[in-house]
Amino acid sequence: MGKKNKVILPPQLPPEVPEEDIDVSDDDVQFVKKNRAYAGFLKRLDTQLITRQVTRVADLKDDALESLYEKRMRKKSSQKETEENGLEVDPVDALPVKTLDGKLYYRTAPKESTKFANATKEEETATGDKNDETDKGIVKLTKAEKRAKQKKIRKEAKQKAKESTKIDEEQEKNPQAEVLAEVKEDLSAEELLARKKSKLAELGMTLLADPESNIKSLKEMLQISKDEDHNIVKLGLLSLLAVFKDIIPGYRIRLPTEKEQEMKVSKAVGKMRYYESTLLSSYKAYLQKLIALEMQLPFQHVSVRCICALLDAVPHFNFSDNLLTAVIKNISSPDDVVRKLCCGTIKSLFANEGKHGGEATVAAVQLIAEHVKIHDCQLHPDSIEVLWSLSFDEDLGRSKLAKEEENVKTKKKKKRNWNTEEANQLQTSDKKKTKQQLLAKTMEEVNADFKAASFTPDLQERRTMQSEMLSAVFQTYFRILKHAMQPAATRSKVNNGSLCSGLGPHPLLAPCLNGLGKFSHLIDLDFMGDLMNCLKMLACGGVSSDGSPENSLTVSERLRCCIVAFKVMRNNLDALNVDLNEFYVQLYNLLLEYRSDREDQGEVLAEALKTMLCEGRQHDMQRAAAFIKRLATFSLCFGPAEGMAALVTLRHLLQKNVKCRNLLENDAGGGSLAGTVSKYQPFASDPNLSGALASVLWELNLLSKHYHDSVSTMASSISSMSTAPNQVYLSTTSPLEAFMDLSIERESFSSKNNHGISNRKRKRGDGSSILSNGSIQDLINPEKEEVTQKLSEHFHVLRDISENERLRRELNHTMSSLRLYEEYKKQRRKKIPGDAKRRKKISFSAI
């Protein structure tokens, strides 16, 4: 559309000159006569229009001149109103009008022309008024032209109405037209998607082929990844991930400073600077996009996967701190996929320290410690279990004093050997000395070059990094222990809105105790006393606000505290002198508090029995007897896995304490020790005051009739130890191994007296049985139909096997009888000729 140009009046005419003063030359007359054809337009000039455009009008009186001016002002105001209310017409539809001064004037059309009546009125106002005025002072239409124009407008309206009705009829006849239109749109969208995919593939291939020349393609790929289609965005992110993993160099990029940029450099250096700056800016934009999309649910998994892959592949490159922060933030995510990805990346980072020299490991451990502090120890256990993958060098953790002592010892040894080697050293020549010096210098240079070329940090740097990691790890562990010791009232106020509300009040305590048991040999001795006191309080069940014991921990968590205390003591046996009797008391009482139907874990109990009773030094006779009696009672109350672990521990205690085998006797008080021991107190809390030596292991007689073969066999073997007192028994399995073996066999176990029970129930009948077969089956498994189907299939297979065995026996019997019959016939045929001769002799003799 062109610009709207207002009507500009032509320039004023020159001043009038009388005709008397005008002189016409002969040349002008001849020129006009020769060119009459060109001067003919003067006859066709509209003098009225010219006089209307001229501001100055001649030969008019003053009154007529004033009325003329008023009429012109009214006309100008009406033109302005039509221009404001009108719309400019496209030059394609209507040609413009050129004024006398050479400028173009574009026509306008009314805004509202929906109805025919309004259209005719606006047409009348646009074309002229009743006084036969021209169209805006430019074109004048006659009545015939107006009528023709109105007819044309009516015809066009009728045609439009007919077309709309035809379209509606076609849609009614062809209801699939809309579906076809949608299919065409889908096809066009698929074609667009295919084009974008091919474009991404093409850009990625060019970058991988020659990244320095095609580094600009990174920006194009970033632009494509900003598409509205989610699939294109995901493909773009994954394509950029593959490209960056391939083209990122093995060093950090340092951008040149302003002074370095002002310096003149060669083309190769300039090209390399441009490549590195473009790569770094694109990589930064890519990371910003990943972190932004991480908060959006449709792109969360893809963005987290890309972040983890980049951190695992290029932990040495720029912006690795941002990647590490994003991964640590999601290390305790409620989404299992995101959490496992982040935890796996952190473990890989700890295992592959050669990629980053250990700096990323230190940063990750410190960020985890800060993360635990911010969330007040209310995180998923996986966020602390990743610390188990850390590896520490014990040689680096040694103190400087120990190294100084070793240096002093080595110096003393050298001084002792100096007298013997002095004579030989004096006899060496100067040439040999110079050769040795040269060799030493060359070796130093080689070692220096090797250190500079290798990625391994210096020994002092490794020592400082390891000390920082240890401080961060134990700071995290001690904070978790301190949080577990808080009273329940204050802890409930702090834990509101935690991330792991469904994992209990202490979700990090179990992995913390396992980590302390693993790294207990690296703990500083100054903290051992406080650590053991803390473990004693936690083994008692926690501490309330008034300082009294509070059972806020589970049985498994309290057992873990006892296990860690024993591991710490054994790893630092030379430096610690701690009384562990309190932990034995807690284990003795926890055996009665254990419940398999709660959250108590049987493997933790088995590990506690192994660590506290089977390993280590020999126990006191009173305490050993108390545990033997308590374990026998425990075996009667729980399943075969827990009972087997208890029996293995019981057998081990009887092997170590020979005098405790008197408990296997039938006499009260253990036979010969009946008069020297105190009375048995089964409900005593202290094993040393229980008087278990005055009791008898009558539980073994019941356990020997246990429904599980392994438990009954173990009980019988323990009972037979009294008949062979001098026999030496060697335990080959630990309580933990026994528990794991039977827990695996628990599902596939079938009792040996199954058929006898079923036969007895059949004999009693339906009325005498307490529970019918159907009710028992409903109690065992609510899915009755599946159980019956599986059992029927199983018994069908067994019946087919037994039937096949019976038929095979009958077949073998018939085959053997047939073979015997064939042999009999052969033997009979051999004997027939001899019998015939005898018969003939008998017949002749008779004659």
pLDDT in tens, 357-382: 889 999 999 999 999 999 999 999 99
Query: Please, are residues 65 and 51 in contact by the beta-carbon 8 Å criterion?
Result: no
Name the pLDDT band for 115 (thresholds 50, 70, 90). Answer: very low
Q: What number is the average pLDDT over the span 432-458?
A: 69
Minimum mean pLDDT range among 276-290, 617-631, 825-839: 825-839
Higher pLDDT pick, 743 / 135: 743
- Global pTM value: 0.63
Mean pLDDT of 147-165: 80
Least confident window among 70-84, 187-201, 439-453, 705-719: 70-84
Whether the Cβ atoms of residue 657 and residue 641 lie closer than 8 Å to each other = no
The 3-state DSSP class for residue 304 equals helix
> What is the model's pLDDT at position 201?
92
Residues 686, 678 contacting (CB under 8 angstroms): no
Better-scored residue on pLDDT, 771 or 336: 336
Mean pLDDT across the chain: 76
The candidate with the shortest Cα–Cα distance to 304, out of 278, 330, 269, 325, is 330
CA angle 701, 705, 706 (to 5 degrees): 115
- pLDDT bucket at 429, cuts 50 / 70 / 90: low
pLDDT for res 408: 52
Model confidence at 399, pLDDT cuts 50, 70, 90, reads very low
Share of the chain above pLDDT 70, in %: 65
Q: What's the confidence (pLDDT) of residue 552?
A: 74
Please state the φ and ψ torsions of residue 621, each to the nearest 5 degrees: -65, -40
Residue for token digits 């030094």?
617
pLDDT of the residue at 131? 42
Structure tokens at 505: 């009040």
Measured in residues, the chain has a length of 847
Report the percentage of the chain scoring pLDDT > 90.
30
Decide: residue 634, CB within 10 A, 0-12 exposed, 13-18 middle, 19+ buried. buried
Q: Which of 21-35, 421-435, 487-501 has the lowest mean pLDDT?
A: 487-501
| Range name among 218-222, 517-521, 746-750 with the lowest pLDDT average | 746-750
CA distance 836 to 165: 123
CA distance between the termini of the chain? 155
Q: What angle do CA 664, 666, 670 make, to 5 degrees?
A: 65
Question: What is the reported pLDDT for 658?
Answer: 84
| pLDDT tier for residue 817 given thresholds of 50, 70 and 90 | confident
Among the listed ranges 192-196, 448-452, 772-776, which one has the minimum average pLDDT value? Answer: 772-776
Q: Is the pLDDT of residue 465 over 80?
A: yes
pLDDT over 70 (residue 600): yes
Least confident of 65-69, 195-199, 381-385, 585-589: 65-69
Confidence grade of residue 523 (pLDDT, cut at 50, 70, 90):
confident
* Mean pLDDT, residues 69-91: 61
pLDDT for 152 equals 83
Residue-level pLDDT at 607 = 92
Q: What pLDDT, on a 0 to 100 scale, did the predictor assign at position 4?
A: 45
Helices 336-351, 320-329: inter-axial angle, 10-degree rounding: 130
Residues 573-598, buried b or exposed e (16+ Cβ, 10 A)?
eeeeebeeebbbbbbbbbbeebeeee
**Mean pLDDT of the 622-635 span:** 92
Confidence band (pLDDT; 50, 70, 90) for 391? confident
Residue-level pLDDT at 179: 61
Instruction: Give pLDDT, residue 816.
Output: 85
pLDDT at 675 over 60: no
**b (16+ CB within 10 A) / e for 454-486:** eeebeeeebbebbebbbebbbbbbbbbbebbeb
Query: 87 versus 655: which is more confidently predicted?
Result: 655
Strand partners, 104: 98
pLDDT higher at 535 or 41: 535
Beta bridge partners of 105: 97
More confident residue, 512 or 667: 512
What local confidence, expressed as pLDDT, does residue 840 receive?
Answer: 45
Q: pLDDT, tens digit, for every residue of 743-756?
A: 776 655 444 444 44
Average pLDDT estimate for 528-544: 82
Residue 205 pLDDT grade (very low, low, confident, very high; cuts 50, 70, 90) = very high
The region of weakest confidence among 277-291, 528-542, 819-833 is: 819-833
At 151 the pLDDT is 80
**For residue 774, what pLDDT is reported?**
40
Q: What is the mean pLDDT of residues 786-802?
A: 74
Residue of 565, 636, 627 whose CA lies nearest to 590: 627
Mean pLDDT confidence for 674-685: 68
pLDDT for 834 equals 54
Confidence of residue 54 (pLDDT cuts 50, 70, 90): low
Mean pLDDT across 504-517: 89
What's the pLDDT score for residue 779?
Answer: 41
- On the question of pLDDT at 467 being above 70, the answer is yes
Q: Which of 229-233, 454-458, 678-682 has the highest mean pLDDT?
A: 229-233
